[in-house]
Structure 1
């Protein structure tokens, strides 16, 4: 099984046949593997490179400087996360990565830091561009599930999303048994936009429990569905396990950078099985508030 490529520009035109074809392909991708590459996302390559440059500058800063912005708790879920601090797979040693979480425009614009990152207008512009792209994908999701087109976007209008800058440093010592760059996990929210840069390593688990590579494809955004979308759709859309392994070649000596945009519903949104998704089987999960689910998931991770 391979990860499909979907041209989103065909969804944004008035031709209903082409638009519906995109909706059909997105449904199939979300149902069968939970991952897809988006072509013609509308996000400027120059803007993306500027964000990667800002990310590299931040992670190149001394540890003492980065720790001035340390992540403190799951309620705020912002700031710097150091090496091995996070266990995406709670049964394995801490992940060999560092990260910086940015929650929303208010936090972006009010961080006081000597580091050229958090109050950088490039970051705010990129956050808003990701929000716009996520909303377009959510519109396609709604149509694929026979819902009003703006069913999901109205439930995401508080911009309760997390932009996460990620750095996987070169390995200086041998890892602990079972330790990887990012442990096997599924994402918590509605959908994730992932931007990779130069060095790959991401793997996706298929329905046959096989791991396949999800490499960087220049100019494309990797999109996957998360746990809350899986709950909403009664497993019609799947939340797929994925991981970042340690390379067994020269890439182990190189830094790996990526950017994830985690799209979450408003905290007070009730996630209950959609009527159009209960026809094949009874609801699998009880209703839950989106904010409650996110908090419980983060508590298991840190």
Structure 2
């Protein structure tokens, strides 16, 4: 069972000064407890407008429905994090025989030649508005994580102070899983993996398909809850906490139901990453994991994915 945390008293629409310390402690403990036991949590009443999510879903679908030769003009360069990633270009589980049946678009607030403003003039504004709204929620999540971990409330926020700026790879990713047609043996929509950074805010459509690895080793569905964000911990945060909190593996298999096979699936992931030069060292001073910089760790993981 994935816990549900109600952020109403600390949502984007709530005043920071009006949230009682006892409420912050309760929320921080609930989130950390979920990350200790399951690695995932539903966030409700978070304050990100439903209309913003729906509009950005619609805009991204318009882009993904363009012909491949048009999308190729906005492909992500090998040395950048921004741009379109073609179908079957990623393999999130390197042990699977073929690449994932998914395409994506990575967006960061940066000048890039891979932004399709010439075909979708509203693209940059819509995606940046969504990015910065997610970032505002991320600051509150970092605060609650610090409270739940009983560390200095400013520490995690200081380690992420360049989000949305240079030297930080925090990314908003639009994922698109096309209708099922030709499938290779052993292929899935998204292979088993854990995320790389601090934490991820995931927005699902109503198609479903996401599964997480439960403590007993079986995979269980993460059913969409209307208006809820699914949040999961990343590998760097697991290292940071000396495995006190867990980064849980998850996947998206091919749908069994014929009606869902004929539909595309969409999701948005906001990957919260520490600043590039932050050294990830165990908070409990145990040195259970050797220190590593954020950027060096991410480069290792990306090298295994592409």
What is the TM-score with the length of structure 2 in the denominator? 0.92
Partner of 2:26: 21
CA contact (8 A) 1:270 1:287 kept: yes
- From 232, 257, 274, the counterpart of 1:265: 274
Using the TM superposition, give the Cα deviation of residue 117 of structure 1 relative to its aligned residue in structure 2, in angstroms.
6.7
Using the TM superposition, give the Cα deviation of residue 283 of structure 1 relative to its aligned residue in structure 2, in angstroms.
2.9
Partner of 1:35: 40
CA contact (8 A) 1:108 1:124 kept: no
Using the TM superposition, give the Cα deviation of residue 10 of structure 1 relative to its aligned residue in structure 2, in angstroms.
3.1
Listed as ranges, the gaps of 5+ residues in structure 2 are 11-15
Number of aligned residue pairs: give it.
Answer: 293
Say yes or no: does 1:64 pair with 2:57. Answer: no
Using the TM superposition, give the Cα deviation of residue 17 of structure 1 relative to its aligned residue in structure 2, in angstroms.
2.4
CA distance in 2, matches of 1:8, 1:235: 25
Partner of 1:219: 227
Say yes or no: does 1:121 pair with 2:132. Answer: no
Using the TM superposition, give the Cα deviation of residue 68 of structure 1 relative to its aligned residue in structure 2, in angstroms.
0.3
Say yes or no: does 1:291 pair with 2:299. Answer: no
Q: Which structure 2 residues correspond to residues 64-143 of structure 1 after superposition, within 5 A?
A: 64-73=69-78, 75-92=79-96, 93-103=98-108, 105-107=109-111, 111=115, 113-116=117-120, 119-143=123-147
CA contact (8 A) 1:193 1:261 kept: yes
Listed as ranges, the gaps of 5+ residues in structure 1 are none
Using the TM superposition, give the Cα deviation of residue 146 of structure 1 relative to its aligned residue in structure 2, in angstroms.
1.0
Q: Moved runs in structure 1, 4+ residues, more than 6 A?
A: none
CA contact (8 A) 2:38 2:246 kept: yes
CA distance in 2, matches of 1:112, 1:252: 28
CA distance in 2, matches of 1:57, 1:178: 29
CA distance in 1, matches of 2:56, 2:256: 28
CA RMSD of aligned residues (A): 1.6
